[in-house]
Structure 1
Amino acid sequence: MFQLGFNLFHEISRPFNMTYRCFSVSMLPGNERQDVERGGKIIMPPSALEQLTRLNIEYPMIFKLTNKKTRRITHCGVLEFVADEGKVYLPHWMMANLVLEEGALLQVESVSLPTATFSKFQPLSEDFLDISNPKAVLENCLRNFSCLTTGDVIAIKYNSKVYELCVLETKPGNAVIIIECDMNVEFAPPVGYKEDERVSRGEEFSEGMEEDPEGMMPEPEGFIAFRGEGNRLDGKKKKLTSESESEPQASHSRQPYVRGIPDYNYQIGTLRFIRNYRSANAKEEIPTEPFEAFKGEGFTLRSAKSK
């Protein structure tokens, strides 16, 4: 009876706290692990898994990484337990945040974090603005992360290019879990970004297209008839009688605007269907002879001699 009574009580949770030699993923024996570099998870030894199964810890497994020399702290998840005994393998960006060298000592401790509700990121390069939908790209990349820590600089890869983002703020705490949660995301202006100096592509397009499309036609080449100028015998300049004569002769020598050049006055949200209509004054061609049905001639296969 006493044994049954003791089993009714929950086992007191004991934290996991170990110290390992840390190395970057590039030092991991075997094939290169790009899935580790793109996320926020580490690789631990099999003995850590055996010890974690004996402890009453919360899931998902979240660990606090501490560099005692620099007192830098971050949080991460675990991807696999295949590392050599006494070693852990980290992404390169995580080692940079902790200011760790290859083979340095790292304290790994299991912790429990709140679920994220808000996070704010700041790109470290203006190239991040070239992404058409940054929130969707970030959401897809954060699937390889288990948690976020305020002050960390995470690295995400998109279209074979690595973008670094600084985690400016997280709620409801400085470290949060981002697994199966509804999190609002905001972006701060990139480092070194100046709105006055950066002109959007739409403004550049609109400013460049104010010119008449006919003026963009190439200058004619070769012989052009009647391109000369007239001179008076007395040496005086000819008086201009109309505005049309004041225009430079070169403007009349340009090729006419032809169909096939884009509509530079196009406005977003409108569609134009251009068709060729006959003018009202154009007269339809009248057939010379009226149409008569079955007016054709017939032929027979018999020759005239057989009749």
Structure 2
Amino acid sequence: MFPSFGFPDIPRPFNTQYRCFSVSMLPGTERSDIEAGGKIIMPPSALDQLTRLNIVYPMLFKLSNRTTNRTTHCGVLEFVADEGKIYIPYWMMQNLGLEEGGLIQVESATLPVATFSKFQPLTTDFLNLTNPKAVLEMRLRHFACLSKGDIIAINYNKKIYELNVLETKPAPAVSIIECDMNVEFEAPPGYVEPSVSKAQPMEEEEPELDISSMLPEPTGFIPFSGTGNRLDGKKKRTSSENEIQSQLLAEYTRGIPDYDYQPGEIKFIRARRKKEEKENIVDDFEAFQGKGQTLRQSKKK
């Protein structure tokens, strides 16, 4: 080895070819966390090689299918794959046009930090969510980078939503690890804004008809047309008495202070008959004036 003469080690690029398989082919238990993100599984030998090359962190890679000339970018989750193989999400295989066991070129990449991205949902189901932007922000935590032209798939509420990455800034491929990124949405293909019908002017309500004035006057026998008597012997209040009561109450209207109030004096306002009116009332009704009867017969002597 040659001495470095105090100069820092220059990172060398990582460039290796692997057989590519979907995550469903990974031995062991099902890994749904890999399928819902944008990171891949690489073999342990790749980690050893990357360490020797003094690679820049975070580790980002460019995947290239030389047969179809399609590329994308991703991060790495674990180094537990079989030697010579890598496992990637199925949506990533579709973007690259790969089949199970196809050859893929993996190169180390250095990407700028994202400042802006624009997405287009492929269906209107994603826009029907309560807060689509919050859902996207939560699911993008499983991604390391974005590439313009990719169709990413996010899993939310046991449903897959596909979104087309229309634009990324400041470059066609960006890193989204620990970044402050502005997000915009484009309407789905064929989406039509719902038409809002203009409010119809309210018709003036017609006055209700008084049906009682249209009915004929009753003729013949009219039931319950007599007058009533009270059991306590008191006379029923007449209309003149009601007028007196309303006049008394009108003098002391609720909410208006009594300006003639004197300290130490309390007034109780009641509807009372005047003394002269009481003297003029002739009450000839006497209660309980009948004769009593007993069921027990008197003993004869």
TM-score where L is the length of structure 2: 0.65
Whole-angstrom CA distance in 2 between matches of 1:86 and 1:94: 19
Q: Deviations over 1:263-299 (max 9, x none)?
A: xxxxxxxxxxxxxxxxxxxxxxx9xxxxxxxxxxxxx
Question: In the alignment, residue 129 of structure 2 is paired with which amino acid?
Answer: I
**What is residue 226 of structure 2 aligned with on the other side?**
none
Please report how far the alpha carbon of residue 12 of structure 1 lies from its aligned counterpart in structure 2 after TM superposition.
Answer: 2.2
Residue 15 of structure 1 corresponds to 13
Q: Deviations over 1:103-135 (max 9, x none)?
A: 000000001000000000000001111111111
1:73 is aligned, of 68, 71, 74, to 71
Task: State how many pairs are aligned.
Answer: 208
Q: 1:153 aligns with which of 147, 151, 154?
A: 151
Q: Which runs of 4+ in 1 moved over 3 A?
A: 242-245
**SS of aligned partner of 1:26:** helix
Is 1:82–2:80 an aligned residue pair? yes
Corresponding position of 1:302: none
Cα distance per residue 1:202-241 (max 9 Å; x no partner): x79x98xx9xxxxxxxxxxxxxxxxxxxxxxxxxxxxxxx
Amino acid of the residue matched to residue 26 of structure 2? Answer: L
Percent of matched pairs sharing the same residue: 67
Q: Name the structure 1 match of 2:128.
A: 130
Paired residues for 1:223-302 under 5 Å: 243=209
**Structure 2 equivalent of residue 239 of structure 1:** none
Paired residues of 1:126 and 1:192 also in contact (CA < 8 A)? no
CA distance in 2, matches of 1:91, 1:139: 19
* Matching residue of 2:102: 104
In 1, distance between residues paired with 2:142 and 2:127? Answer: 22
Counterpart-to-counterpart distance in 1, 2:153 and 2:4: 49
* CA displacement at 1:244 relative to structure 2: 5.9
Partner of 2:45: 47
2:187 is aligned to 189
Which residue, 28, 31, 43 being the options, matches 1:30? Answer: 28
Counterpart in 1 of 2:178?
180
Is the partner of 1:127 in helix, strand or coil?
coil
Unaligned runs of 5+ in 1: 211-241, 246-285, 287-307
Superposition pairs for residues 107-122 of structure 1, below 5 Å? 107-122=105-120
1:147 and 1:118 map into 2 onto residues whose CA distance is: 12
CA contact (8 A) 1:114 1:176 kept: yes
TM-align CA RMSD: 2.5
Deviation of the 1:6 alpha carbon: 3.0
Amino acid in the other structure paired with 1:130? N
Q: 1:126 to 1:13 in 2, by over 3 A?
A: same
Gaps in structure 2 of 5+ consecutive residues: 203-207, 212-269, 271-301
Q: Secondary structure at the match of 1:47?
A: helix
Distance 2:86 2:92 in 1: 12
Distance 2:141 2:127 in 1: 21
Q: Secondary structure at the match of 1:75?
A: strand
